């Protein structure tokens, strides 16, 4: 084995991005109206309206991910340039359903993927779940006037956290996570009338808003993981399931609290309202006229924590490649 070549490869991959470089990268959202197109011109990403007039443009050197929301067309040249300049294009429906991410994925990191396919432990899953539950607990601790239900929820979530170390099976870990999340949501939104978290069902405007926020978070982390060459379908906690990006589902867990916190704050400020949605076949759908405002509300805290999320993914990559002990894996600390 050529150990020098392996070392050189590892060094190159571990320094794929630097924090100062990434801090200058931009996350761009484009809400497409009928006839508008995404194209490329003179090293710039360009959005043109139905009459061919330039609506928006941005240098490709500064891009990290472009969220293209709604119906549009893109050129093969743009896809080539996304790969050349190292940015991603996230294609989403007008209802914020992500259906494709194209661009700068590093699919050739075979050493990393071999390590992923061989990993069968529970240690990383325990770190991720404990991190998520600690963040939920800290969010509840930040409630100023805590009633007995909130205090009991904090106590019980802490009890579940203490049980994680001794868990011997993945389903046991997921059970603790589910119990903690149920307690968290019940008390986090205690001042709002709703029936709890129901992913993708959109039974009320809060669940629908969560789906939008979590999708934005999911897509951002998907792009980060792909930029390091991870097989995003191969998870360490959410195990393999057909066409599910299990690793992305894993890594979003500690960061969901960012969206949860922002939604509650925006509801209290009346920035998120039930009248911003239309009900169709029992599901709440965000009005297109409100979409750009909601994207700004939900993406602002993610941009605020952009570098912390980047640092987490970079540290996760380095720890996984070096096969470090689990206590050296990153933690996203929401704090008290």
Question: Higher model confidence: residue 277 or residue 28?
Answer: 277
Three-state secondary structure string covering 253-278: HHHHHHHHHHHHHHHHCCCCCHHHEE
Q: Are 245 and 222 in contact (CB under 8 A)?
A: yes
pLDDT for 178-193, tens place per residue?
A: 999 999 999 999 888 7
CA torsion sign, 129 to 226 to 107 to 249? positive
Residue 293 has pLDDT above 70, yes or no: yes
What is the per-residue pLDDT for 297?
95
Q: Are 230 and 112 in contact (CB under 8 A)?
A: yes
Over range 209-227, report the average pLDDT: 92
- Please state the pTM of the whole predicted model: 0.86
pLDDT for 11-63, tens place per residue?
A: 444 445 566 667 778 888 888 887 788 888 888 888 888 888 888 888 888 88
Extended beta strands in the chain, E state: 26-31, 37-41, 44-48, 54-59, 63-69, 88-92, 98-103, 277-280, 283-286
What is the per-residue pLDDT for 107?
76
What is the per-residue pLDDT for 313?
94
Structure-derived torsion over alpha carbons of residues 76, 78, 82, 87, reported in degrees to the nearest 10: -130
Phi-psi region of 43 (alpha: psi -120 to 50; beta: other; left: phi over 0): left
pLDDT for 134-173, tens place per residue?
A: 999 999 999 988 999 999 999 999 999 999 999 999 999 9
What mean pLDDT, rounded, does the chain reach? 87
- Residue whose C-alpha is closest to residue 163's, from 148, 152, 179, 149: 179
Place of tokens 């432990």: 121
What is the per-residue pLDDT for 196?
80
What is the per-residue pLDDT for 138?
96
The Cα angle at residue 161 between residues 157 and 162, in degrees rounded to 5: 120
What is the per-residue pLDDT for 240?
67
What is the per-residue pLDDT for 17?
55
Q: Domains plus CATH for the chain? A: 17-103 (3.100.10.20), 110-328 (1.20.120.920)
């Amino acid at each position: 084995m050529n150990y020098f070549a392996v070392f050189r490869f590892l060094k190159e991959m571990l320094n794929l991005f630097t924090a100062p470089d990434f801090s200058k990268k931009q996350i761009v959202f484009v809400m497409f109206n009928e006839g508008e197109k995404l194209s490329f011109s003179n090293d710039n990403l360009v959005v043109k309206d139905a009459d061919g007039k330039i609506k928006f443009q941005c240098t490709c050197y500064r891009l990290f991910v472009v969220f293209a929301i709604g119906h549009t067309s893109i050129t093969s040249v743009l896809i080539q340039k996304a790969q050349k300049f190292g940015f991603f294009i996230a294609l989403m429906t007008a209802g914020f359903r992500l259906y494709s991410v194209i661009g700068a994925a590093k699919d050739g990191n075979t050493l990393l993927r071999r390590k992923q396919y061989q990993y069968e432990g529970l240690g990383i899953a325990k770190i991720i779940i404990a991190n998520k539950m600690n963040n939920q607990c800290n969010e509840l601790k930040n409630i100023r006037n805590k009633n007995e239900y909130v205090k009991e929820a904090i106590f019980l979530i802490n009890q579940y956290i203490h049980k994680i170390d001794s868990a011997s099976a993945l389903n046991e870990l997921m059970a603790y996570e589910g119990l903690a999340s149920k307690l968290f949501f019940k008390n986090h939104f205690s001042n709002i009338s709703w029936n709890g978290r129901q992913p993708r069902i959109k039974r009320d405007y809060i669940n629908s808003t969560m789906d939008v926020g979590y999708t934005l978070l999911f897509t951002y982390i998907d792009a980060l993981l792909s930029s390091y060459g991870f097989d995003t379908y191969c998870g360490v906690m959410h195990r393999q399931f057909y066409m599910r990006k299990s690793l992305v589902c894993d890594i979003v867990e500690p960061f969901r609290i960012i969206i949860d916190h922002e939604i509650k704050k925006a509801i209290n400020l009346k920035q998120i309202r039930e009248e911003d949605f239309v009900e169709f076949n029992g599901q709440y759908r965000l009005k297109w006229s409100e979409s750009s405002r909601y994207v700004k509300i939900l993406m602002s805290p993610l941009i605020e924590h952009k570098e912390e999320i980047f640092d987490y993914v970079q540290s996760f990559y380095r720890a996984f490649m070096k096969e470090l002990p689990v206590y050296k894996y990153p933690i996203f600390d929401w704090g008290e």
